[in-house]
Structure 1
Amino acid sequence: MSARPTTPASPKNVRVKSPVPGLPMFGCEHIQLLLSKNQEVMNSSITHYKLILRGIFDATPIVPQTSTLDGRPVTSLTSNYLCLQCPSTVTEEERLRHGTKKQHRFYVDSRSGCLYCQICDDYIWDPTLEELRVRKIGTGSFSGRKRKHDELFTGSFKDDPRFISSNTNTASCRANGLRGIYNAGATCYQNVVLQSFLHNPLLRNFYLSDGHQSSDCQVSHCLSCAMDDMFQDFYALETTNGYTAANILSGFWISEKKAFENLVTTKEQDAHEFFQFLAEELHERNGDGKKPEIGSEHSCNCIMHQTFYGKMQTTTTCQNCSGQSNSIQSFLDLSLGLDNVVQKKSKRTGQKKPTVSLQDCLDEEYIKYDKCEYRCNNCNGTQQAKRHTSIKRLPNVLSIQLKRFEYKHGRHDRAASKVDNEVKFPLQLNMMPYTNRIRNHDSRESLELERSCTYDLLSVVVHVGELDTGHYTSYCRVGDQWFKFNDHKVELASLSDVLGAQAYLLFYIIRSLA
C-alpha cells in the first residue's frame, strides 16, 4: 500500500526496572494493572486514547443519530462510552454488559474525554492520560516527550511536563479502517461494495457498538456476523495487510436466493447487483425477518433501512379531468439511465461523445413528465395522462447507479454494450429540486429545506475497461482525505482523481450526519 499514513513502530523489548519507593502514579490499581503489563500494552493504550480524544474534540460532542420520526436526524446530548480496549462505543446501559462479555473495564466519556473505571464504578484521574486530555483541550494537539515504562513509578512527572515523546507518530491508518481486500478470483465487484460499507459511518457505528450480537447469533454462515468480524478486524487489528473476506464469500455462495444465483460464479459480475444482494441479506439478519419489498411502503427499523432506504412518489394526472392519483414506493437506490441523456445532448450539441452531468440524469428522471395512458376513475375510462416521479423521503445515505451497461434486443439475441461517456458529479449534491416538497413550501422554509436535502460525497465505485473484461476500483472519503481501493492495494487519492473517475455507483451521505 503506497502513500499511506505512517504506522507506529514495532514495540521494542524494554527491560522494566523495579519500581522506586513511592506512590505509583496511576489513577487506580486497575488501570495500573493494564498499563504496567509491558511497553506494548502501554503504547497501544495511549495510542488508542489519543485516537478517542481526536474523535471527541476534533468534532462536535453532540452525537448525530437517526430518528424514527419521518427519518429526520436528531441529536443526543447524553454521553456514550468509548471502550479503551477495543473500538466499541456503548451507552451507559450497555457498558456493564459489554464489560462482562469482553472483560473490558475502561471507558472514555464521549463528551468530556474523562476515563471511567468500571470496577471502581467511578471516573478516575490518571496523570498520564489526563495530561493528554488537558493538552488536547488546551492546544488541540499532543506534544512533549513520552514517559518510559519505568518512569510511571516515579514522582517526577511534575518536573517534566512533556509526557509524549518527540517521535510520537500519528495514528496509524489502521485506526481509520484503511485496509485492502484480496481478490479471490474476479471478486473485485464485491470488494468495492464492501469498502463502501466499511467507510459508511452509520454502518461502522452500528457494528462497532455491538449492533449485531454475533456471540448470540444462531444463524449458520450469517453474513451480518461476517460483516461484524470484518469491521472489528479493520478498525481494531494492528495490521495493514490485505484482508481475505472468506466468511463474506462463504455466506454469499451458499445463499439460496434465486434472484442472485447468477452471481455465484467465478466470472466478473455486477457491483450494483451485489450491493442489492448484500443490503437484502443484512436486512433479513438485522430486521424483522421479512424480505424488503422495494415497491411497497413496508416500514422497517433495521440498520439497512435507516441507512439506505427512501420513499418515492409517482403522481399521475388525467389530461381530461385533471384528477390525480398518487402511489408511494420505497427504494434502495436510484438507477439513472445514461443512454437517453447522452443521445439528447449529442443531438443538441453535435458532439459524438458528449459529457453529461449527474444533474442532467436526475432532471431526466425526476423533473420531466412522461405521457401515458391511464384509466381514470373519475372519467370511468382510459384517458391520456401525465406521470411525474419525485422523492417523498430522502435516505440518510443516497445510493445512485449510473446505468452504464445497456442491453438491446436484436432479432436473434440480446446485445450488451457499455456507455463510457464522462459523467460529471459534484462533491455536494442538492436533492431538493427532485423532492415533492419543492412545490409545497414557502420562502421562509427554503433555507431549512435545502439544508435537509444537501448531501456530501462519501464513496465512488468505478468500472474501467470493457463490459466482459473490466475491473472495479473505488474511492472512499476518510475524514478530509480520499483513498483509492484497488483490491488489496490502498493509496492516497487527489480530489481531481475522484471527480475525474468513470463512476458507476455513487454514495452520498446527508450533510447533517456527515
Structure 2
Amino acid sequence: MNLDGCAHLRSFKTRKGTEPFRIVHSYFIIAASQEARKRKANSCYCHMCKQHRPRLHACLHCVFFGCHGARHIHEHARVKQHNLAVDLSYGAVMCFSCGDYVYDRELETIARDQRRKAAKNGQVKELCCPWDPTSAEIELLQRNPKRRKITESSTIGLRGLINLGNTCFMNCIVQALTHTPLLRDYFLADRHNCQMEDNANMCLVCELSRLFQEFYSGVRVPHIPFRLLHLVWTHARHLAGYEQQDAHEFFIAALDVIHRHCKGQNSESETNPHHCNCIIDQIFTGGLQSDVTCQHCRCVSTTIDPFWDISLDLGSDDARNNNNDTVNRGTSSGKLNGCDNHPESTTLTDCLKRFTRAEHLGSSAKIKCNACQINRESTKQLTMKKLPLVACFHLKRFEHSTRYHKKISTYVSFPQYLDMTSFMSSRRNDNGYINGTIAEINSDNNRYALFAVVNHLGTIESGHYTCYIRQHKDQWFKCDDALISKATLQQVLDSEGYLLFYHKQFLEYE
C-alpha cells in the first residue's frame, strides 16, 4: 500500500493541488456551519438522475455529483475522463482508473484537521468513527465486498514480528488484530482521535495505529514491536516480564486497554447502555442472554450481558471427570508431558450446543423466583441476543487447580463458515430451541467466515504460540513470530485451535 495515493491522484495534486479536495470535504462532508448544511441539502443530488441517492460522489475535476448505485459517477468519469471523485458519505477518494478507493496521507491529514477544528468550535460532536455498524458503513461493505484487490503474489499486510523473549503470545494476537477487516479499515483511515495528546506516547491505540501503518506500508522485513510491548507492560502490569503469558488473557487485556483509551471520545450507546460506541465495542461486543426459569411456576428471569469472546468447554462433564481421575491417580495413561492426548474429538458446533443448552442448577443452587418470592430449583440457559461483527471463540485447553495443571489436546473440528442462527435467543422457548422463520434462517447477518486461528504448541509448562491468518479469500499464511509462510486451508482446519476468529460473512473481502 502506498501512503501517498495512486499515480493518478499524485498527478492530480501536482497539477491542481489539494484545494479541490479541501473544498469538497469542508462544504459537503463536514458541513460544520448552518449555511454549509443548507448548501449541502440543496446541492447534494445526482446531476444525472436528479435524485438524492445514497453514496453520492463529487468529481474532483469539475462541479458534478453522481450516484454510485446507478453508476452515474462511473459514466461521468468515462465520458469526461475525470478519474477521481470523493465519496460524500466517508470522504474516501475513488480512482476510476485504478478501479478502487485509494488512501492518501496528505488528504487524510486535511480531513482530520478539518474535523478537529469543527469539533473544537463545537460544530460537530464526533471525530472518531461516528458510524454505527448496522447502518451506512456496513452497507458500504455489503455492497462492495471486493474492496481489496490482492493478487496471489501480493505481500500487503504480511509482516513478521520479532520475538522479544517469550512474546509469541503477543505476536499472534497482533497478527489476528491487524487482519481484522473493520479494525484494519479504521486504523488505515487514521480515525483515531487521541484523548491523551499531552502524553500520546503512552496511548496504546496510537501505537496500534502506527503498527497498522507499518504492516500495510509494503515493507517486508520483520517488525520489532518493542514500543507495543512496553505499553502492554505499562497498562497491563500482570502481563509484565519475560515469562510466557496466555494469548487469550493478552487478547482480553489488549481490548480492555484500547477500549479505555477510546472510551472518552464516544458517548454510550443508546441501544446498549453496557458499552460505548468505541471501535472495540462496535466490532467485538455481543450480547449474551441468560434465562433462569423457575421449575415451579415457569417464570423466566432474563439478563443480558456484553461479551468480547466466548469461552467453550471441550467435552462432556463425564469425559472430563474421567480424565481428571486419570491425572489425579498419577498414571501415564492419556497424559504426556503435561498434555492430555485423549483420542476423543468434538466440533465447534458441539461446544456451542453445550454452551447454550439448558442447565439444571440443582437443589444446592436454588434461586429466588421473582414470582414465587421464595428460593426454587431452576434451569439456566445462555443464548446469543446480539452477535458481534467479529466473534472470538476461546477453546478452554488449559486447566488449573490446586492439585494439577494440564493442557487438553482434544481435537476440535471447526468450519471455515459458521452459521450462528441456531444459538440465537429468538429461537429459544421453554423446551429449548424452536425453528426460526425462513427469513431468520436465511439471514446472512448470522453467518461468519473464519479469518484467523491462534494455536498453542507443546505443553502447559513449555509451549509456543503460532497463528494462521487469512490475507485473501483463499490465501492463508502461517505466522510464527518473524517467519511468514504459505499455508493451505486444510492445514488451518486440521490445526489444534486455541482462539478462533470469525467475522460476519458480509464483510467477506477479495
Is the structural similarity TM-score above 0.5? yes
Alignment pair present for 1:274 and 2:250: yes
Does residue 198 in structure 1 map to residue 182 in structure 2?
Answer: no
Contact 1:283 1:289 in 2 (8 A): no
Do the aligned partners of 1:88 and 1:208 also contact (CA within 8 Å) in 2? Answer: no
Matches within 5 A, 1:370-449: 370-372=360-362, 373-410=366-403, 415-439=404-428, 443-449=437-443
1:30 paired with 2:14, answer yes
Shift of 1:297: 4.9
Please say if residues 195 and 265 of structure 2, whose CA atoms lie closer than 8 Å, have aligned partners that are also in contact: no
- Residue 328 (str. 1) matches residue 304 (str. 2): yes
Of the three residues 236, 239, 244, the one matched with 2:219 is: 239
- The corresponding residue for 2:169 is 189
Pick the aligned partner of 1:81 from 84, 88, 92. 92
Question: Taking structure 1 as reference, are residues 442 and 187 closer, same or farther at Cα in structure 2, changes over 3 Å only?
Answer: closer
Residue 444 of structure 1 deviates from its aligned partner by 3.6
Which residue of structure 2 aligns with residue 4 of structure 1? none
Q: Where does the alignment leave 5 or more consecutive residues of structure 1 unmatched?
A: 1-6, 9-25, 35-60, 63-75, 102-141, 143-168
Instruction: Find the counterpart in structure 2 of residue 495 from structure 1.
Output: 489
| Cα separation, partners in 2 of 1:377 and 1:341, compared to 1, 3 Å | closer
The reply on whether 1:223 has 2:201 as its aligned counterpart is: no
Shift of 1:82: 4.3
Partner letter of residue 192 of structure 1? C
CA deviations 1:213-246 (Å, max 9, x no partner) are 469833342111110111111112x421100011
For residues 293-323 of structure 1, the C-alpha deviation after alignment (integer angstroms, 9 at most, x for no partner) is xxx9512110000111100110011111111
C-alpha displacement of 1:211: 1.3
Deviations 1:143-162 (A, max 9, x none): xxxxxxxxxxxxxxxxxxxx
Paired amino acid for 2:234: I
Contiguous gaps of at least 5 residues in structure 2: 3-9, 19-67, 70-86, 96-100, 116-148, 324-333, 335-340, 429-433
Closer, same or farther: CA 423–270 of 1 in aligned 2, 3 Å: same
Q: Please give the per-residue CA displacement for 1:166-186, whole angstroms capped at 9, x wherever unaligned.
A: xxx968644x21000000000
Measure the CA separation in 2 of the matches of 1:94 and 1:441.
48
Q: Indicate if the aligned counterparts of 1:212 and 1:224 stay in contact, CA closer than 8 A.
A: yes
The separation in 2 between residues aligned to 1:29 and 1:181, in whole angstroms, is 36
Q: 1:179 aligns with which of 155, 159, 179?
A: 159
Other structure's SS at 1:202 match: helix
Shift of 1:435: 1.0
Change (3 A) 1:470 1:431: same
What secondary structure does 1:254 align onto? helix
- Cα pair 1:338 1:402 within 8 Å, conserved: yes
Task: Return the offset for 1:346.
Answer: 8.4
CA contact (8 A) 1:90 1:209 kept: no
Q: Does 1:485 align with 2:471?
A: no
**1:406/1:31 CA distance change after superposition, 3 Å:** farther
Q: Deviations over 1:370-424 (max 9, x none)?
A: 32421113222111111111110000000110000011333xxxx2100011111
Q: TM-score, normalised by structure 1?
A: 0.64
| Aligned mate of 1:364, from 345, 350, 354 | 354
**TM-score normalised by the chain length of structure 2:** 0.65
Structure 1 residue 500, shift from structure 2 partner:
0.8
Do the aligned partners of residues 377 and 215 (structure 1) sit closer, same or farther apart at CA in structure 2, a change above 3 Å counting? closer
Check the 8 A contact 1:313/1:389 in 2, yes or no. Answer: yes
SS at the partner of 2:248? helix
* Aligned-residue RMSD, C-alpha: 3.8
Separation of aligned partners in 1, 2:151 and 2:449: 26
Contact 1:315 1:325 in 2 (8 A): yes
Cα 1:96/1:418, change in 2 over 3 Å: same
By how many angstroms is 1:359 displaced? 1.1
Relative distance call for 1:284 and 1:172 in structure 2 (3 A) is: farther
**Does structure 2 conserve the Cα–Cα contact (< 8 Å) formed by 1:390 and 1:435?**
yes
Distance 1:462 1:383, change over 3 A: same
Question: Which residue number in structure 1 is paired with residue 38 of structure 2?
Answer: none
Q: Report runs of 4+ in structure 1 exceeding 4 Å deviation.
A: 26-29, 31-34, 76-80, 87-91, 98-101, 169-172, 289-292, 344-347
SS of 1:483's partner is strand
Residue equivalent to 2:111: 97
Which of 502, 505, 510 is the equivalent residue of 1:511?
505
Contact 2:427 2:436 in 1 (8 A): no
